[in-house]
């Protein structure tokens, strides 16, 4: 059985290199609009939601799966967190509610995929609508907005965790959380049993089965983990919006998948990098910010991001062919 | 199921549909009026629903069928809804078209086929009176002008004013931006900054867009956003930069979050529409057409400016938080 985790430092570094190249190119194009430290603070906060979900999505994609329901899970978890805060459970209660909701949704995805033997694409396509519907239902079709005694928006302090700029703060706490989660996710992929099994399943499911990997159990765990991280992303989204909005995060699954793919993952499975996915998410935030800074309209940015996804995969394919020759 | 029984089942279904269609035409059954919004989860659409129910409770003798696409602004699903309602023998349709072209032919087909269609909220291509019965909406260009006049008053006619647009291809908000820019471009002391950036459809995309715009340049006397989510995203971005209250923010539409922002002095003007009136007039007009009465082909339900000063007036309060519970019984 061939296990192919990123084989050299290039795979891990390339997406970060791309971020640096993009920043430098914009620096040359518009020297009067530099990336200041404060710009990075904002970009970091903007990367959190997609970044957290991308860590879990990397695991799923490495196992040769996909999770299309991630946007709906983020929205539903955000609503859960908002409802918990509204019920007076505080910040801890809000986080637990959001994360638990995400983990349950993820586990259900896994159970459908394993139990009914559905292709992950179909199973999560179905639950994408399911979870979105539940989010609208529990939120009674409108945003959940917890209030304090003065009628102001109240998030039990969760909003402060993802505030881009604050006194005595280097990066938003949520950005540190994203960094820690990424490092932990990358470490666990390399050094834990579940991590090794994830790569093994994605490389060759049949071989993995013959080698004694419990496929079903592992898959449910992988999807539950991805759901848990999407739940955490949902809590952060609640903090960012100060409301639990059941119609938010629509289409965000494509941003998350794009981040993972830019980060060097193969949709065929067996290959991918958690740190790369972080760089992929960061690259998209940086591009959005830079295109605004130099005054380009939205469509230019969409054209550029589209090509970066294509280019990232093309370069990776070319590199793999060359090393395999 | 053997073939003869299947055949019988289908012919039975066909007959039922046929009879159902006939009775509604004869008028022996209660008329059913379908109301099709662009979405169902925003408070705006709930207000239209409340207006439709209000009309039903006031007049009575007919049924309101409320059905929107699952996804906000889903054009193709709206087309399906119109066609399904026509096939099911509905009496009349009131619709807020998600697209001014895609919905044009199904609407015209229904109307010419004898099922009166009243268009509300957003326009559709065609001639009122022959392709559809009537168009009932806010004059959005005028709404933009109202916002612009408020901005001029706030800034004293001096300084740079930023425009954060809502979304490409959205008719009503483009008109609001157009009306706003049209008025302020004519003011000598004001420089309208329109970088062509769009907030996107959700609040988080609006916050990202607003943060990035302010990071690139934050030297503005005033900022204008053309819908609820864009205004809310901008409000959050201004608060994150501790600029809220220092820049004049004028927005469109209302929500709890925006009203709180206005009370805190962070929002200085909101142009609001009257969706309850839109739903009510839509249904009443459809009913009038069914009764063979003559109706206005163009109705403006008006836009009002809400400021920190008039926010507690009863008339404004009803616009800001329509009595949804009273009519929808939630």
> ipTM score of the complex?
0.76
- Cite the residue boundaries of each domain of chain B with CATH code 3.40.50.2300: 31-138+274-302, 140-272
CA distance to A26, A49, B97, B125, B127, per residue, from B171 (Å) = 33, 30, 10, 12, 18
State the angle between helix axes of A90-115 and A120-138 in degrees (0 to 180), rounded to the nearest 10.
140
Interface test with B, best of A241, A245, A254, A282 (most B CBs within 10 A): A241
Helix (H) or strand (E) holding A15: helix A9-29
The pLDDT score that the predictor gives to residue A1 is 45
Burial class (CB in 10 A: 0-12, 13-18, 19+), B281: buried
Predicted confidence (pLDDT) per residue in A245-298, tens digit: 898 888 899 999 999 999 989 888 998 999 999 999 999 999 988 988 888 888
Three-class DSSP category at B53: helix
Neighbours of A244 (CB within 10 A): 33
Residues of B in contact with A281 (CB under 8 A): none
Q: How far is CA A56 from CA A187, A254, B164, B238, in A?
A: 13, 14, 34, 32
Assess if CATH 3.10.129.10 describes domain B140-272: no
**Chain B neighbors of A288, CB-CB under 8 A:** 208-209, 212
pLDDT, position A166: 84
> From the CA atom positions of chain B, what is the Rg in Å?
22
What percent of chain A clears pLDDT 70, i.e. is strictly above it? Answer: 96
B80 C-beta neighbours (distance < 10 Å), count: 13
Intra-chain end-to-end CA distance of chain A, in Å: 19
Q: Is the pLDDT of residue B79 over 90?
A: no
Under the phi-then-psi rule, with left for phi > 0, alpha for psi from -120 to 50, and beta for the rest, what region is B27? left
State the CATH class of domain B31-138+274-302.
alpha beta
Strand B304-306 and strand B269-272: pairing? antiparallel
Specify the residue for token string 């739940």: A231
For residue B1, name the pLDDT band (cuts at 50, 70, 90).
Answer: very low
Among residues B274, B185, A245, B258, the alpha carbon closest in space to that of B249 is found at B258
| pLDDT value of position B172 | 83
Q: What is the pLDDT of residue A165?
A: 85
Q: How far apart are CA A68 and CA A66, in angstroms?
A: 6
Query: A288, B196: Cβ pair inside 8 Å?
Result: no
Are B42 and A136 in contact (CB < 8 Å)?
no
The pTM score is: 0.79
Tell the residue number behind the tokens 């093994």, with chain if given.
Answer: A200
Query: In chain B, what residues touch A29 (CB-CB under 8 Å)?
Result: none
Cross-chain Cβ contact A153/B43 below 8 Å: no
Per DSSP, the residues of A311-323 read HHHHHHHHHHHHH
Domains and CATH numbers, chain A: 12-23+38-324 (1.10.3470)
Instruction: Tell me which residue has tokens 């990424």.
Output: A182
Q: What does the pLDDT average to over A227-243? A: 95
pLDDT digits (tens, 9 = 90+) for A56-90: 999 999 999 999 999 999 999 999 999 999 999 99
Choose among A246, A228, A46: nearest CA to A145.
A246
Whether residue A136 lies within 8 A of chain B, CB to CB, comes out as: yes
Mean of pLDDT over chain B:
88
- The total number of residues shown for chain B amounts to 330
B42 neighbourhood in chain A, CB within 8 Å: 142, 247
Give the pLDDT mean for B154-183: 92
How close, in Å, is residue B60 to chain A by CA atoms?
27
């Amino acid at each position: 059985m061939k296990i192919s985790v990123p084989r050299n430092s290039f795979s891990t570094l390339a997406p970060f290199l791309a971020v640096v190249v993009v920043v430098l190119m914009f620096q040359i194009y518009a020297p009067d609009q530099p990336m200041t430290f404060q710009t990075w603070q904002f970009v970091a906060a903007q990367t959190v939601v997609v970044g957290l979900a991308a860590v879990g999505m990397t695991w799923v994609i490495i196992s040769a799966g996909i999770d299309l329901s991630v946007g709906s899970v983020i929205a539903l978890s955000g609503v859960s967190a908002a409802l918990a805060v509204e019920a007076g459970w505080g910040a801890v209660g809000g986080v637990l509610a959001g994360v638990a909701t995400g983990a349950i949704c993820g586990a259900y995805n896994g159970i459908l995929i394993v139990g009914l033997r559905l292709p992950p694409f179909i199973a999560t396509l179905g639950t994408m609508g399911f979870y979105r519907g539940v989010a609208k239902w529990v939120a009674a079709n409108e945003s959940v907005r917890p209030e304090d005694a003065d009628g102001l928006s109240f998030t039990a302090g969760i909003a402060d965790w993802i505030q881009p700029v604050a006194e005595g703060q280097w990066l938003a706490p949520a950005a540190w959380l994203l960094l820690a989660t990424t490092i932990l996710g990358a470490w666990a992929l390399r050094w834990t049993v579940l991590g090794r099994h994830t790569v093994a399943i994605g490389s060759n499911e049949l071989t993995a089965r013959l080698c004694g990997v419990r496929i079903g159990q592992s898959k449910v765990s992988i999807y539950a983990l991805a759901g848990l991280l999407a739940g955490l992303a949902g809590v952060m989204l609640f903090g960012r919006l100060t409301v639990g909005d059941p119609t938010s995060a629509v289409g965000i699954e494509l941003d998350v998948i794009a981040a993972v793919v830019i980060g060097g993952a193969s949709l065929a499975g067996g290959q991918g990098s958690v740190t790369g996915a972080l760089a992929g998410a960061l690259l998209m935030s940086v591009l959005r910010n830079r295109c605004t800074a130099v005054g380009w309209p939205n469509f230019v940015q969409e054209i550029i991001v589209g090509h970066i996804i294509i280019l990232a995969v093309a370069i990776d394919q070319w590199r793999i062919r060359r090393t395999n020759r | 199921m053997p073939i003869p029984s299947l055949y019988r089942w289908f012919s039975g279904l066909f007959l039922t549909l046929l009879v159902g269609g006939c009775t509604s035409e004869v008028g022996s059954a209660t008329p059913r009026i379908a109301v099709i919004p662009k979405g169902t989860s925003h408070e705006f659409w709930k207000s239209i629903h409340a207006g439709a129910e209000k009309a039903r409770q006031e007049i009575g003798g007919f049924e309101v069928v409320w059905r929107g696409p699952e996804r906000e602004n889903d054009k193709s699903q709206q087309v399906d809804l119109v066609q399904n309602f026509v096939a099911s023998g509905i009496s009349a349709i009131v619709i807020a078209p998600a697209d001014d072209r895609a919905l044009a032919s199904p609407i015209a087909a229904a109307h010419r086929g004898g099922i009166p269609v009243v268009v509300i909220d957003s326009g559709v291509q065609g001639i009122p009176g022959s392709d559809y019965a009537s168009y009932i909406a806010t004059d959005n260009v005028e709404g933009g002008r109202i916002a612009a006049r408020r901005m001029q008053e706030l800034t004293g006619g001096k300084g740079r004013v930023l425009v954060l647009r809502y979304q490409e291809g959205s008719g009503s908000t483009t008109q609001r931006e157009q009306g706003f820019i049209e008025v302020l471009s004519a003011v000598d002391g004001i420089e309208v900054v329109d970088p062509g950036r769009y907030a996107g459809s959700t609040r988080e995309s609006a916050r990202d867009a607003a943060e990035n715009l302010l990071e690139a340049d934050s030297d503005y006397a005033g900022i204008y956003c053309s819908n609820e989510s864009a205004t809310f995203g901008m409000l959050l971005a201004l608060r994150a930069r501790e600029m809220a209250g220092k820049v004049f923010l004028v927005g469109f539409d209302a929500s709890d979050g925006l009203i709180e922002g206005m009370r805190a002095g962070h929002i200085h003007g909101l142009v609001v529409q009257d969706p309850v009136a839109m739903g009510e007039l839509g249904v009443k007009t459809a009913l009038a057409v069914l009764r063979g009465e003559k109706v206005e082909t163009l109705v403006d339900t008006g836009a009002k400016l809400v400021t920190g000063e008039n926010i507690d007036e009863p008339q404004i309060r009803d616009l800001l938080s329509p009595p949804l519970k009273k009519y929808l019984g939630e």
